[in-house]
């Protein structure tokens, strides 16, 4: 289970619970799977009705054989009766076939709807997971659960579930009919069934384990592809010349997957061959016993059978082979599907760490002043060493927990409209500080406040409306520039868009592109230069017009021209709103109303540039080191 985001205590409790539960999870999982069909109760009932109808219709023809042979042909020699019976035998499969088509349509509708619901539930649940979950889970792993695992159960939901019912009812009704024709032959035909059931159960267990392994391997492969076949991944791989290494890793895992798939297909193949043979030779045994009764005139265990009864019996009996084979197989399939459902439920059960309080405050952006306060904020990253295994909960190894206290008792106040610059050495906790404001993480103790309200009391919707973030790494969707901009404000007019891009000093550049605002930027905006992407990101936030701006200035050095353009873009952006900038640019630091100097998770100094320089502490040191000595603009 990927419980990467859980707190220590909860995590331990989870593992203990998992162990204690053991096989009970099966029943629980089955109940939950059944519950997911609840919205489609009516359709399910219709399917049941259709199945029952086709099953009963299926019994008519074998029973007609006895009527035709014994009654119409041999006893009465009645052509009229023969026609009636034959007509029934012709009409029955037609009706049955039509009902079957309707049933297939319903099966597929129900199955696809249930799958759609699972995907929707997973997506919206994962969307609500905190950043912690995503920082410790590979994207490929998440995608795999959403697509491979849900896809894997699709067949079970669409085909297997209805066929279980259909096969079950066929089997039961056929056995009853067989019993009526001849109890003795019924026992002979089905004597070995309990043994088959037992073996199937065993085979199912093995198959389930293999299925779990297979899904894990598939997730691993997806994650690998996702990691290496992305722009960043390919850049890293090519520049470090690790193609060979990556290919080997991929091929090994791929080989592993192929083996598992073969094993999964082959498990129980021998066993099913045995069942097949058994079913093929039982008619011979039936003829032997029935023939023996007739030839020897023995009344052992009942009257000798009529010819019609023997043919009817063998026809009925042959009707059993398919459903019983299917039922035995289905049990194995279900075992495999249960493993997949478990993986889906695991994700659905991941606790949502950060959510709205029941009476969360809805703040109107225009009424918010933008006063930001941190009071004795302490925050620890709680992670786990094996965060990347797909289901540490299932392999039973409780992970070693890693804790890193990133912020110790951090306090500061930023007045409305002020620009605060966060500076400090790498790893000091600057990014972490900014993450607490939009509740990407929650504090362990102390509080983060906006206009005197603890952010945990404000609705997440309000918070995201209030706060705008420009991150170091600009993320653009694989869509047109216009669509990327509209992400900030869906109903923005053309004028607003142009005003924003002009303010961000990117309008002219966009107009030079082949399709202007409709130019599609590649994934993550790789078709644009670093500086251009940043300016688009800035224009996007200008459009959003948040009360509070969080700005993580890019550390990468830009040439003076781009630098000036970015500066020109930032100035109007910071005006009139509270801004917290992780400052790497001298101009930002100099313009700041308040400089917060961080070191090892603490605010060690705060004040203006002049005050801090005069102090001769860490800030003065950093300033001299990074700005004066290098004459550079990056930190």
Ligand X SMILES: Nc1ncnc2c1ncn2[C@@H]1O[C@H](COP(=O)(O)OP(=O)(O)OP(=O)(O)O)[C@@H](O)[C@H]1O
Residue with tokens 């439920």: 345
Question: What's the rounded Cα separation, in Å, for the pair 561 and 530?
Answer: 13
Among 520, 512, 508, 533, which Cα is nearest to 482's?
Answer: 520
How far is C-alpha 98 from the geometric centre of its chain's CA atoms? 37
Q: Any idea what DSSP says for residue 304? A: P
Beta-sheet pairing, 401-414 with 372-384: antiparallel
Asked if 426 touches ligand X (CB under 6 A), the answer is yes
Query: From the CB of 381, what's the least distance to ligand X, in Å?
Result: 3
Query: From the CB of 635, what's the least distance to ligand X, in Å?
Result: 8
Query: From the CB of 474, what's the least distance to ligand X, in Å?
Result: 16
Query: From the CB of 618, what's the least distance to ligand X, in Å?
Result: 13
Element (H, E) at 580: strand 578-582
Largest Cα–Cα distance of the chain, in whole Å? 121
Q: Binders of ligand X among 392-421, rule CB under 6 A?
A: 404, 406
Query: From the CB of 436, what's the least distance to ligand X, in Å?
Result: 10
Asked if 375 touches ligand X (CB under 6 A), the answer is no
Cβ pair 412, 448 in contact under 8 A: no
Query: From the CB of 428, what's the least distance to ligand X, in Å?
Result: 4
Phi and psi at residue 600, in whole multiples of 5°?
Answer: 45, 45
Interface map 323-362 toward ligand X (x if CB under 6 A): ----------------------------------------
Among 592, 598, 585, which Cα is nearest to 634's?
Answer: 585
Token representation of residue 43: 């359709």
Query: From the CB of 423, what's the least distance to ligand X, in Å?
Result: 9
Residues 6+ away with beta carbon under 8 Å from 131: 435, 440, 441
Q: Binders of ligand X among 428-467, rule CB under 6 A?
A: 428-432
Cβ pair 327, 168 in contact under 8 A: yes
Cβ pair 553, 591 in contact under 8 A: no
Phi-psi region of 528 (alpha: psi -120 to 50; beta: other; left: phi over 0): beta
Asked if 387 touches ligand X (CB under 6 A), the answer is no
Q: Which CB sits closer to ligand X, 103 or 136?
A: 136
Q: Which residues pair with 596 in a beta bridge?
A: 422, 606
Binding-site residue total for ligand X (CB under 6 A)?
Answer: 13
Phi-psi region of 396 (alpha: psi -120 to 50; beta: other; left: phi over 0): left
Query: From the CB of 601, what's the least distance to ligand X, in Å?
Result: 7
Query: From the CB of 373, what's the least distance to ligand X, in Å?
Result: 19
Question: What's the rounded Cα separation, in Å, for the pair 617 and 599?
Answer: 12
Asked if 627 touches ligand X (CB under 6 A), the answer is no
Query: From the CB of 598, what's the least distance to ligand X, in Å?
Result: 6
Asked if 383 touches ligand X (CB under 6 A), the answer is yes
Query: From the CB of 537, what's the least distance to ligand X, in Å?
Result: 17
Asked if 427 touches ligand X (CB under 6 A), the answer is yes
Stretch that binds ligand X, among 173-181, 224-232, 425-433, 619-627 (CB under 6 A): 425-433
Residue with tokens 């002009």: 502
Cβ pair 538, 570 in contact under 8 A: yes
Asked if 12 touches ligand X (CB under 6 A), the answer is no
Interface map 209-248 toward ligand X (x if CB under 6 A): ----------------------------------------
Cβ pair 475, 469 in contact under 8 A: no
Q: Which CB sits closer to ligand X, 429 or 525?
A: 429
Query: From the CB of 602, what's the least distance to ligand X, in Å?
Result: 11
Output the DSSP codes for 321-340. Answer: HHHHHHHHHHHHHHHHHHHH
Stretch that binds ligand X, among 280-288, 303-311, 424-432, 485-493 (CB under 6 A): 424-432
Q: Which CB sits closer to ligand X, 120 or 386?
A: 386
Question: What's the rounded Cα separation, in Å, for the pair 613 and 620?
Answer: 5
Phi and psi at residue 382, in whole multiples of 5°?
Answer: -105, 120
Query: From the CB of 432, what's the least distance to ligand X, in Å?
Result: 3
Stretch that binds ligand X, among 67-75, 386-394, 427-435, 506-514 (CB under 6 A): 427-435
Asked if 116 touches ligand X (CB under 6 A), the answer is no
Q: Which CB sits closer to ligand X, 136 or 293?
A: 136
Question: What's the rounded Cα separation, in Å, for the pair 83 and 71?
Answer: 13
Number of CB atoms found within 10 A of residue 180's CB: 14
Asked if 618 touches ligand X (CB under 6 A), the answer is no
Q: How far is CA 493 from CA 289, 318, 482, in A?
A: 87, 71, 11
Interface map 182-211 toward ligand X (x if CB under 6 A): ------------------------------
Question: What's the rounded Cα separation, in Å, for the pair 207 and 446?
Answer: 51
**Helix, strand, coil percent content, the chain, rounded in steps of 5:** 65, 10, 25
Query: From the CB of 222, what's the least distance to ligand X, in Å?
Result: 22
Q: Which CB sits closer to ligand X, 406 or 497?
A: 406
Asked if 634 touches ligand X (CB under 6 A), the answer is no
Q: Which CB sits closer to ligand X, 111 or 429?
A: 429
Q: Which CB sits closer to ligand X, 68 or 406?
A: 406
Residue with tokens 């037992």: 198
Rule CB under 6 A: choose which of 381, 487, 526, 627 binds ligand X: 381
Rule CB under 6 A: choose which of 53, 104, 135, 567 binds ligand X: 135
- Residues at the site binding ligand X, with contacts judged by CB under 6 A: 135, 381, 383, 404, 406, 424, 426-432
């Amino acid at each position: 289970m990927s419980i990467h985001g859980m707190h220590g205590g909860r995590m331990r409790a989870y593992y203990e619970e998992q162990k204690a539960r053991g096989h009970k999870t099966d029943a629980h999982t089955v109940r939950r799977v059944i519950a997911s069909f609840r919205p489609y109760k009516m359709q399910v009932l219709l399917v049941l009705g259709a199945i029952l109808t086709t099953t009963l219709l299926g019994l008519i023809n074998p029973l007609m054989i006895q009527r035709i042979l014994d009654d119409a042909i041999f006893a009465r020699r009645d052509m009229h009766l023969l026609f009636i019976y034959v007509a029934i035998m012709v009409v029955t499969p037609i009706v049955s076939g039509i009902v079957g088509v309707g049933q297939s349509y319903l099966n597929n509708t129900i199955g696809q709807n249930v799958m759609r619901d699972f995907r929707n539930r997973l997506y919206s649940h994962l969307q609500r997971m905190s950043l912690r979950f995503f920082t410790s889970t590979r994207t490929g792993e998440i995608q795999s659960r959403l697509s491979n695992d849900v896809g894997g159960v699709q067949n079970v939901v669409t085909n297997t579930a209805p066929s279980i019912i259909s096969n079950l009812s066929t089997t039961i009704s056929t056995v009853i009919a067989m019993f009526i024709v001849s109890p003795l032959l019924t026992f002979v035909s089905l004597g070995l069934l309990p043994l088959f059931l037992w073996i199937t159960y065993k085979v199912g267990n093995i198959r389930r384990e293999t299925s779990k392994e297979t899904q894990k391997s598939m997730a691993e492969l997806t994650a690998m592809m996702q990691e290496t076949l992305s722009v960043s991944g390919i850049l890293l791989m090519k520049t470090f010349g690790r193609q060979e290494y990556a290919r080997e890793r991929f091929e090994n895992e791929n080989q592993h997957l192929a083996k598992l798939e073969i094993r999964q297909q082959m498990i129980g193949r021998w066993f099913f061959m045995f069942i097949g043979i058994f079913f093929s030779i039982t008619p011979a045994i039936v003829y032997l016993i029935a023939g023996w009764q007739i030839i020897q005139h023995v009344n052992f265990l009942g009257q000798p059978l009529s010819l019609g009864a023997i043919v009817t019996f063998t026809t009925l009996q042959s009707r059993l082979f398919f459903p019983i084979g299917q039922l035995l197989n289905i049990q194995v399939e279900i075992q495999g599907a249960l493993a997949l459902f478990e993986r889906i439920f695991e994700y659905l059960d991941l606790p949502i760490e950060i959510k709205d309080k029941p009476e969360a405050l809805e703040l109107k952006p225009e009424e918010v002043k933008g006063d930001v306060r941190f009071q004795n904020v302490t925050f620890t990253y709680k992670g786990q060493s094996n965060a990347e295994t797909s289901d540490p909960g299932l392999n039973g190894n409780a992970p070693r927990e890693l804790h890193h206290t990133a912020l110790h008792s951090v306090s500061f106040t930023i007045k409305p409209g002020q620009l605060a610059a966060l500076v400090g050495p790498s790893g000091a906790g600057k990014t972490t500080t900014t993450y607490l404001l939009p509740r990407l993480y929650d504090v362990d103790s102390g509080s983060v406040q906006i206009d005197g309200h603890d952010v945990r009391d404000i609705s997440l919707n309000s918070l995201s409306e209030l706060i705008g973030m420009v991150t170091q790494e600009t993320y653009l969707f694989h869509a047109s520039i216009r669509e990327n901009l509209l992400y900030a404000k869906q109903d923005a007019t053309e004028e607003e868009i142009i005003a924003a891009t002009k303010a961000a000093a990117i309008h002219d550049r966009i107009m030079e592109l082949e399709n202007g605002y409709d130019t599609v930027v590649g994934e993550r905006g790789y078709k644009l230069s670093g500086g251009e992407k940043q300016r688009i990101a800035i224009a996007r936030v200008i459009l959003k017009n948040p009360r509070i701006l969080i700005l993580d200035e890019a550390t990468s050095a830009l040439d003076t021209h781009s630098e000036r353009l970015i500066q020109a873009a930032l100035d109007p952006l910071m005006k009139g709103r509270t801004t917290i900038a992780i400052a790497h640019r001298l101009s930002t630091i100099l313009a700041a109303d308040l400089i917060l100097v961080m070191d090892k998770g603490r605010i060690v100094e705060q004040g203006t540039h002049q005050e801090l320089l005069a102090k001769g502490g860490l800030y003065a040191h950093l300033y001299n080191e990074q700005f004066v000595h290098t004459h550079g603009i990056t930190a």
